[in-house]
Amino acid sequence: MKICLIDPPLPYSSPPLAPLILEYLGGLTKRAMPDAEIELLDPKFRPFSVDEIKADLVGICGSRIVTLPWVYRTADTLRKRGMRVVLGGFNPTALPEQAKEHADAVVIGEAESVWTEVLEDAQRGKLESFYYGRPLPLDNLPLPLRLPGYKFHAIFTMRGCPYQCKFCAITGLYGKTPRYRPIEDVVKEVDALPGNYYWNTDGNVWGCNLKRTIDLFTALKGSKKKWFGFGDLKAVATPSGDKLLKAARDSGLLSLWLGCEEKFSGEMEKSKEDAVKKMKDHGIDPILAVILGKRTDNPDTFERIVQLADRLGIMVHPFLLVPYPGTELYEEYKPFLLKNGQWEFYDGAHSLFSHPQMSDEQREEKFFKLVLEMFSLKRVFKHLFEIPLSVFPAGHFAFIMRELPIRKGMKAAYEKWLQNSKSQTRL
């Protein structure tokens, strides 16, 4: 049986990062069906024509909501040509009935517990409509099938999150209880990674269990690979913060994206500003991801972001709030949604709901003005001198490799928005 697995294209450019979910699903498929012919396709890196795909079974990842229109169109096309299609990921899990309209089967939840059954049913020609994955212990996972040619690859070390932020979709797929991979398995996988850089895609690399995190970082000290991750400032502000940061830096951590809670209003508590400075003192470059355009925001919130970035000497990545299906926020914002179901607009660059103080055009205009400032070449290269010298040259090289494609994508989004705005004005 020939099995084709696809990670869909993004609307704008992104860093040269191999799609982790595609590689892991490839490894899972190889273990479940060793004799199968497996093809992994990532059009972000190597474009292809959907008309060229030939397989007995096609699995498409629907984890990024902005890609759903492409996912559904592609699935419809392949099914018309007689191929069976399975959809899975965050959004098919949150919207299973919608996904089923475009697929022979939908995997709801995590794939590990049901993927062998999916493959065997497909081979018999008797796919069920829905397969309900259940959370399993994260030991004895297959090694992923690594795709060649990427600058960055990724790993994960845990799933689940106890924080239950109402705008986050993680718990909808992975649950509220953290589950951890054995440290020795993580170290083995990192050692096997191609290249010198990798991403840790955990939603929060140190937010759930500080002792386990420090033990993991200590075990990774000998890998000599450099990495990036996602985290928060709560752990850094604890009494164990210095020990945690030293272990993280010794493990090769270069830069951390700091997720900003939804209530953020353009200002930061002194304890958190101190935590940012502490990260920089330990040679870790913090990048702040900021959610803007909430119904509780006011027009001044956007302007305060630039002041914050300058005061702390950090890069800020702004996004307009996206109410993801399956989250508490989505239900709360339902009465105010403007583009419900128009998933191509759910990219963090469009206003998706009405606002008591600002029109959707005003919020988008303020957002893109901020984006153009944050990703100006002057500011990007200025930040090179704000990155701790202790990570030179690896940290500086990796920053450029990561940020320039994001800058390119943001500029493309702005130009598209500008064209659409002019078209609407003419109307």
Residue 275 parent element (H or E): helix 270-281
Of 349, 374, 379, nearest to 364 by C-alpha is: 349
In the chain, pLDDT over 90 holds for what percent of residues?
78
- The DSSP annotation for 42-97 comes to -TTTS---GGG---SEEEEE--SGGGHHHHHHHHHHHHHTT-EEEEESHHHHHSHH
- pLDDT score of 266: 59
In the chain, pLDDT over 70 holds for what percent of residues?
97
Chain position carrying tokens 């493959």: 119
- pLDDT score of 168: 87
pLDDT-derived band at 255, boundaries 50, 70, 90: very high
For 341-390, what is each residue's pLDDT tens digit?
A: 999 999 999 999 999 999 999 999 999 999 999 999 999 999 999 998 88
For 210-248, what is each residue's pLDDT tens digit?
A: 999 999 999 999 888 999 999 988 899 899 999 999 999
- pLDDT score of 415: 93
Q: Quick check: 176 pLDDT over 90?
A: no
Specify the pairing of strand 285-292 against strand 253-259.
parallel
- pLDDT score of 23: 97
> What amino acid is encoded at 306 in this protein?
V
In whole angstroms, give the CA distance from residue 25 to residue 5. 8
For 24-49, what is each residue's pLDDT tens digit?
A: 999 999 999 999 999 999 999 999 99
- pLDDT score of 262: 45
List C-alpha distances in Å: 343 to 85, 325, 355, 386. 20, 10, 20, 37
Q: Rounded to 5 degrees, what angle do the CA atoms 394, 203, 364 make?
A: 90
What residues are paired with 158 via a beta bridge? 180
Q: Quick check: 424 pLDDT over 80?
A: no
Average pLDDT, whole number, for the chain?
92
pLDDT-derived band at 426, boundaries 50, 70, 90: very low
* Interaxial angle between packed helices 241-250 and 210-219, expressed in degrees from 0 to 180 and rounded to the nearest 10: 30
Q: Domain segments of the chain: what residues?
A: 2-132
| CB neighbourhood size of 114 (10 A) | 21
- pLDDT score of 427: 43
CATH architecture, range 2-132: 3-Layer(aba) Sandwich (3.40)
